[in-house]
Structure 1
Amino acid sequence: MDALDSAGEEVSLELPLLELVRTRASQINGCAYCVDAHSRDAQDGGESERRLFALPAWREAPFFTARERAALELTEAVTQLNISPVSDEVYAGAAAQFTEVELAELIWTITIINAWNRVAATARPWPIG
């Protein structure tokens, strides 16, 4: 897993966006360890508590940019493939906000955090006090 994760370290996407994506996927997957870790990483990177608290309701909250919304929508679609495939509309929305390379980086990030969530939710490491 570390080798797969490190393949995405040299990305052009902004770190705050990546931490929002990682946090949102972890919320959906119910991985307490990952939600804690990525929420803290987001805060350490300057993310506000207000936006982190609103993340589960990002569609209704006014504090997310069009780029962030496209990333979060793609994150939710990829994370919930068991419900339905990623729609052409969702993919096109993301493609409109990201370059081809950025979109590939985003998809990789979403894929890796989902894999980590599954490992952590199964192994059950607990957030550190």
Structure 2
Amino acid sequence: MVFTHSQTAAQFVLAMLDLPSWPKDCFFAGDRLTLNEFLVRAQQAEGTNFEVHYDSLVSLEVGEVTVTPGLMEWMPKDHCKSFAKIIGVSCLSGGLDLPTEKCRNDVLAHRSYIRVQAMLEA
């Protein structure tokens, strides 16, 4: 799965504008982590262990999802479940892992960008 901070995405767009041309489909990929790797880093940054639930792809596809309490503060529970289902199925199906062949990280090779660990520790 790819995690890219919005400021890093903006840096990428600006860098691409300096190029004479670019392919129709291209992107920049920040950190590539599994959700479990992200979880470990987040727990380390917070200094605590989180309550973790694993929903199977089958459960997600039929709408049986675990919804975080914080998400329900932002929207009604049925919307939360729909949102969690879409994101969960996409994660488990590889939909959030961008293909490396269209990746243009080379345009930012000379620049630093915000990494997951730095974002979690901020």
TM-score (norm 2): 0.32
Pick the structure with greater CA Rg.
2
**Greater helix percent: which structure?**
1
Greater relative contact order (Cα 8 A, min sep 6): structure 1 or 2?
A: 2
TM-score (norm 1): 0.31
